[in-house]
């Protein structure tokens, strides 16, 4: 498979994020036209494809220099797209310039503490960091279940199916805590697309296949196809939490001032109360004197 076909397949055949993710980001996280979003990936770009029409700027950061060039050409007519070749632990992005940062399964390839330091550097105060990942949904008696069985039979564990991040890794990354959301997702493929989908996945892992394995996949396709297509079921996982979390704090000088002021304020409160009771008492005495003189 030549380089152009390989990158084209990645861009066109990688599962897209569902529109429900976009709606969630816009309604729940208030993502909008003023936002500058960083999309951190190796070979993906699906989030850039989803968001670039809905935000001020998408900055794609890819650690693959060739894919960076491919995306740059792919979005050359898009004025609010910027492609950079960098790794997530060291970018050339200016400090305090990003409103929201998104990362895909590339999250598993780098040290969480070093990523956290770099992300805090480029992010503005109270900015969300999103981790998005698609997981094939193993539903019995579906093509997805049959495809996963086919993968397990012909490949070593973990070669073509990416695991979701572990809880302790997420806890180490999200110092201020995180929330998880799940979205249903699916992808329809004809035979040519399925073959390219599978072979591209092999190419990404530097694996090769045998003609007999492709024959087995073709038989699987014919068993499940409906009107010339099969569909893969996914669940899109979204983890999100705040970085550079800012809670308004009273400065030391203000704290000292308020500590000094507290007894004065209490004394003033006592004086006000005493004043009220004084005038109430005086009013009662006046009333009694007035009643005594009239009788």
pLDDT at 6: 94
Q: Which of 59, 68, 75, 99 is nearest to 3 (CA)?
A: 68
pLDDT at 280: 65
| Geometric angle at alpha carbon 187, from 149 and 22, rounded to 5° | 130
3-class secondary structure, 95 = coil
pLDDT at 158: 75
Q: Could you give the CA distance from residue 276 to residue 270 in angstroms, rounded to a whole number? A: 10
Q: What is the pLDDT tens value at each position of the chain, 295 positions in all? A: 889 999 999 999 999 999 999 999 999 999 999 999 999 999 988 999 999 999 999 999 999 999 999 999 999 999 999 999 999 999 999 999 999 999 999 999 999 999 999 999 999 999 999 999 999 999 999 999 999 999 999 998 778 888 899 999 999 999 999 999 999 999 999 999 999 999 999 999 899 888 999 999 999 999 999 999 999 999 999 999 999 987 554 444 444 444 555 666 556 656 665 666 666 666 666 666 656 555 5
Alpha-helical (H) ranges within 101-190 are: 112-122, 143-154, 167-173
pLDDT at 256: 46
- Taking the model in full, what pTM does it have? 0.80
Alpha-helical (H) ranges within 84-190 are: 112-122, 143-154, 167-173
Token readout for 82 is: 């910027």
């Amino acid at each position: 498979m030549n380089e152009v076909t390989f990158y084209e397949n990645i861009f066109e055949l990688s599962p897209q994020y569902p529109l429900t993710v976009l709606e969630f980001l816009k309604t729940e996280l208030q993502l909008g036209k003023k936002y500058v979003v960083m999309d951190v990936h190796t070979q993906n770009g699906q989030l850039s494809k989803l968001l670039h029409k809905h935000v001020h700027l998408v900055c794609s950061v890819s650690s693959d220099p060739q894919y960076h060039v491919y995306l740059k050409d792919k979005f050359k007519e898009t004025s609010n797209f910027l492609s950079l070749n960098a790794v997530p632990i060291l970018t050339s992005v200016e400090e305090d310039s990003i409103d929201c940062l998104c990362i895909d399964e590339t999250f598993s390839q780098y040290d969480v503490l070093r990523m956290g330091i770099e992300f805090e550097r480029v992010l503005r105060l109270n900015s969300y960091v999103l981790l998005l990942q698609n997981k094939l949904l193993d539903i019995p008696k579906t093509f997805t279940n049959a495809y996963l069985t086919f993968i397990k039979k012909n490949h070593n564990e973990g070669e073509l199916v990416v695991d979701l991040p572990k809880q302790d890794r997420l806890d180490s990354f999200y110092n201020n805590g995180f929330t998880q959301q799940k979205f249903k997702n699916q992808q329809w493929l004809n035979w040519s697309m399925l073959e390219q989908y599978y072979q591209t996945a092999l190419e990404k892992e530097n694996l090769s296949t045998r003609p007999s394995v492709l024959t087995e996949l073709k038989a699987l396709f014919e068993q499940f196809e409906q009107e010339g297509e099969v569909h893969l079921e996914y669940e899109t996982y979204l983890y999100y939490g705040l970085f550079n979390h800012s809670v308004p704090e009273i400065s030391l000088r203000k704290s000292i001032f308020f500590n000094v002021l507290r007894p004065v304020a209490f004394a003033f409160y006592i004086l006000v109360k005493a004043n009220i009771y004084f005038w109430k008492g005086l009013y009662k005495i006046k009333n009694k004197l007035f009643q005594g003189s009239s009788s």
